[in-house]
Amino acid sequence: MIRRRLTPVVCMLLLCASAQAQQDPRIDPDTGRATAHYPPARHFDHLHVRLDIDIPDMSKRRLTAVETLTLAAIGTARRDVRLNAVGLEIRSVEVGGRPQAFEHDGETLLVHLDEDRPPNVAFDLRIEYAGHFPYATGEGLTWTLGREDAPSLTDRSPQIHTQGQPQSNSKWFVCHDWPNEQLTSELLVTVDSDYQVCSNGRLLSSDTGPDGRTTWHWLQDKPHSTYLVVLVVGQFAVVGLGDANWRRPDLPLTVYAPVGFANTMAETFGNTGRMITHFEKLFDEPFPWDKYSQLVVRNFAAGAMENTSATTFNQGMTMGGDVDAVIAHELVHQWFGDLISYKTWADLWLGEGWATFGEALWAEHDAEPGQEREAYHRAIFSNLAASRMNTTYAPTYPGLVSNVYPNPDTNFYKANNPYSKGALVLHMLRMRLGDDVFFEGTRRFIDEYKFKPVETDDFRRTLEDVSGQSLERFFRQWVDQPGMPRVDVELAWDDEAGVLEVHAEQTQRIDADNPAYALAIPLYVTFDDEQGTYVYLPMETRTIDHSFELPARPTDVSVDPNLRVAAFTRVTKPLAMWIEELEHGSTIIARARAAEHLAPLDDESARSALAGVRGVSAFVDAIVDANAASSLDSQLAGIEGDDR
């Protein structure tokens, strides 16, 4: 899912507010209870859900449903079925025509079966229920009424869309509402014939009866997580993206656009086919589902949501900004998050990190020839920038992967962010393992775990098997440990000795819960008339002094121009080197970092160098403008000071 992006100011406020909370988040002090969230048991395997939904009147916000859940006990014979059913009116529960005793407290439906169900033997639980959806909360089922004065028919008519992530699908059907369960799904929805209905998988039929109402029959016959089941009902212009370039009748691509915006949307989503082709090749895995629909819906609470084969978009998300990034993000989810699902919300980054990393992969692929690396680097650098205010530390703050959270929603927003930090982790792994091994590992991961829920450890193990590298330390420091390394690097050239002296210090909080990072920081050293060369600064303690013998006086020493290490560096080196890096830095990241350093300087040569590169790169220009008044570091000094 893409959330609306928060502005930096809001983030900062959130961070400050939470930094003041000194209470240990891992425990409830009164009872001593752990606050960690562990997944619920899976006493039954949920094999299939069939929902017969009747919508008598789209303007009435009420529906009735007959749900058939195909279950099989796991492990041992069982009699009690515990299900989530939030705010639904349960009318009956039956097995084979026999009514079953049940308790429903408004949230949990506990069914006491009339006999033990042996393990691995499937049976159908038939549940009749009614739902009333007067409030459009953006969670579960959002039922928006028509707005009479709207220009588009789509907005003038009522519309339903659902949003299951993280645990909201139990607000419109009865389910095991946790991602550790995968099932196939089938929706039969009867509604006035004016409306289209879309759900996961493929459309088996849409038959109109004598009463003028149509029953839409959708089937997702590949197992997916409960939270990915989707229902959209509304009046749309359905546009096929299958133009002359798309020769795959087995994989229809459609956009559900607001009526009147069909052509615009077809254009907006025009790259979808190319993206699918690219990611299929990169992952060596065909697009997993029967179709790919992208639905632009009303009143959507988030940015976009990667339901299997049917992504929903916020209208606003499609109107401006880098829409391709959003499209690529949700598309990559169809593999990461949907095909490879994660077992718990702690492992969310395996979806969101990959989807965000996918934005960079698409930018890299889509760039003009010769610009690929720069495009990729820009995307990665922006993820680093998004983590700049991450001054969190253990145990007060949860790491990227942590089951300590107040509610699953907060996982999407936390400082050790599954999107931006997740993408950085994947980028670092790519740098560390090399493209061949990294993507080979990715492919093997998909092969091994498709249609199975994974944990972060599974990903590590696959990468270890493919590379031979021991990655536990990497995962501990980047994935488990909160925060980001901040490294001051002082570079000094000793002309007499022919030695580059490097003093480096990690300045983030280091204590018994927060060890120093183990880093190998690349320094790209360039000379007057030679090719540049890399040397590596190995660092696993708070401070380090290291000297490198060099053949000549370097013109520049560029610290980690490829962002091999997602660290915030503060480099001390001669002004001439900064100017050299601004003008001739080997990557856009090097040039951007030089611009960041030079922009606030009150120095004529700096100003003139900056003026000299003005207009060469909009990306660099923006950084210069943002830093002209004062350095970002000094803007953030107040926050960081708290944590040192």
Partner 1 sequence: MISLLPVLVAGLLGSGVLADDDVDCASGRREAIVRVDRSGEVDPETGRDALNYPPHRDADFLHMTLRLVIPDMNVAEMTAEQTLRFEAIGTPLERLTLDAKVLDVESIRCDLAETAWTYDGRAITITFDPPLPTGEPATLITTYTVNDPPDGLIWTLADDAWPGRPAQIHTQGQPETNSYWFPCHDFPHERLTTELIVTVPSGFLVSSNGHLAEHSVDDSRGDASQETFHWVQDKAHPNYLVTLIVGKFDVVDIGSPALPMPVYVPPGRGPDVEGTYGRTAEMISLYEGLFDEPYPWDRYAQLLVWNFGSGGMENTSATTLYDTAVLDEQALIDQSIEGLIAHELGHQWFGDLMTCRSWEHIWLNEGFATYLELLWMEHLDGEDGYQAEAMANFRAVIDRDEARAPDVPGMVSKVYEHPWDVFDRAADPYAKGASILHMLRRKLGDEVFFRSVAAYIDRFKEQSVETNDLRKVMEEVSGEALAQFFDQWCLRPGVPHLDVDIDWNDGASTLDVVVTQTQPIDGYNPAYVFDLPIWIKESGRAREAVMHVDARTTRATFQLEAEPSIVAIDPDLNVLAELSIDQPVDRWYAQLEAGPTLTSRVQAARELGGHDAEATLRRLVSVAHDERMHDMVREEAMRSLAALGASGRLFGLLREGIADHQVRRACIEQLARALEEDEDVPAPEARDAFDTIAAHAERDESQLVRAAAIRAIATLSLIDRRSIVIEATRTDSQHDRLRRAGLEALATLDAADGLDIAIDLAGPGHYSRTRATAIETIAALAHHAPNRAYDSVAPLLRDRDRRVWGAAAEALVEMGDPRGVEALDAFAESVRDPIQKEAIGERRDRLAEKVEG
Among 1, 44, 169, 353, binds partner 1 (CB under 8 A): 44
Q: Tell whether residue 536 is a contact of partner 1 (CB under 8 A).
A: yes
Sort residue 100 into left (φ over 0), alpha (ψ -120 to 50) or beta.
beta
Which residues, other chains included, contact 637 with Cβ-Cβ below 8 Å and sequence gap of 6+?
none
CB atoms within 10 A of CB 237: 20
- Which residue, 5 or 473, is less far from partner 1 as judged by CB? 473
Rounded to whole angstroms, the Cα distance separating 110 from 188 reads 25
Segment interacting with partner 1, rule: CB under 8 A, options 28-36, 254-262, 268-276, 324-332: 28-36
Q: Tell whether residue 643 is a contact of partner 1 (CB under 8 A).
A: no
Provide the minimum distance between the beta carbon of 506 and partner 1 in the complex, in angstroms, as a whole number. Answer: 7
Rounded to whole angstroms, the Cα distance separating 578 from 581 reads 5
Provide the minimum distance between the beta carbon of 281 and partner 1 in the complex, in angstroms, as a whole number. Answer: 21
Site for partner 1 in 73-102 (CB under 8 A): 73-76
Cα–chain center distance at 178: 17
Q: Tell whether residue 47 is a contact of partner 1 (CB under 8 A).
A: no
Q: Within 13 Å, how many C-alpha atoms sit on residue 495's CB side?
A: 1
If we measure between CA atoms, which residue out of 169, 166, 168 comes closest to residue 187? 169
- Which residue, 11 or 537, is less far from partner 1 as judged by CB? 537
CB atoms within 10 A of CB 640: 17
Tell me the pairing of strands 202-208 and 237-240.
Answer: unpaired
If we measure between CA atoms, which residue out of 459, 481, 483, 482 comes closest to residue 471? 459
Among 159, 467, 526, 627, binds partner 1 (CB under 8 A): 467
Segment interacting with partner 1, rule: CB under 8 A, options 139-147, 264-272, 301-309, 457-465: 457-465
The SS3 of residue 534 is strand
Site map 146..185 versus partner 1, x via CB under 8 A: ----------------------------------x-----
- Give the 3-state secondary structure of 453-481: EECHHHHHHHHHHHHCCCCHHHHHHHHHC
Tell me the pairing of strands 182-192 and 44-54.
Answer: parallel
- Which residue, 117 or 377, is less far from partner 1 as judged by CB? 117
Site for partner 1 in 543-582 (CB under 8 A): 543
- Which residue, 369 or 468, is less far from partner 1 as judged by CB? 468
Q: Within 13 Å, how many C-alpha atoms sit on residue 446's CB side?
A: 25
Rounded to whole angstroms, the Cα distance separating 332 from 270 reads 16
- Which residue, 148 or 435, is less far from partner 1 as judged by CB? 435
Provide the minimum distance between the beta carbon of 425 and partner 1 in the complex, in angstroms, as a whole number. Answer: 14
Provide the minimum distance between the beta carbon of 434 and partner 1 in the complex, in angstroms, as a whole number. Answer: 6
Provide the minimum distance between the beta carbon of 177 and partner 1 in the complex, in angstroms, as a whole number. Answer: 14
Neighbouring-strand partners of residue 491: 502
- Which residue, 84 or 190, is less far from partner 1 as judged by CB? 84
Neighbouring-strand partners of residue 233: 160, 197
3-state helix, strand, coil in the chain (%, to 5): 30, 30, 40
Q: Tell whether residue 39 is a contact of partner 1 (CB under 8 A).
A: yes
Among 11, 43, 313, 594, binds partner 1 (CB under 8 A): 43
Provide the minimum distance between the beta carbon of 43 and partner 1 in the complex, in angstroms, as a whole number. Answer: 5
Q: Tell whether residue 462 is a contact of partner 1 (CB under 8 A).
A: no
Q: Tell whether residue 240 is a contact of partner 1 (CB under 8 A).
A: no
Q: Tell whether residue 107 is a contact of partner 1 (CB under 8 A).
A: no
Sign of CA dihedral 352, 309, 335, 86: positive
Site for partner 1 in 328-347 (CB under 8 A): 344
Among 40, 240, 316, 638, binds partner 1 (CB under 8 A): 40
- Which residue, 7 or 31, is less far from partner 1 as judged by CB? 31
Q: Tell whether residue 537 is a contact of partner 1 (CB under 8 A).
A: yes
If we measure between CA atoms, which residue out of 513, 598, 497 comes closest to residue 548? 497
Site for partner 1 in 416-435 (CB under 8 A): 432-434
Provide the minimum distance between the beta carbon of 426 and partner 1 in the complex, in angstroms, as a whole number. Answer: 16
Q: Please report which helix (H) or strand (E) contains residue 231, including its range.
A: strand 231-234
Site map 468..507 versus partner 1, x via CB under 8 A: xxx-xxx-xx----------------------------x-
Sign of CA dihedral 73, 75, 77, 83: negative
If we measure between CA atoms, which residue out of 197, 218, 183 comes closest to residue 290? 218
Residue ranges that bind partner 1, judged by CB under 8 A: 24-27, 31-36, 38-45, 73-76, 180, 344, 395, 403, 432-434, 436-437, 440, 455, 457, 461, 464, 466-470, 472-474, 476-477, 506, 510-516, 518-520, 536-538, 540-543
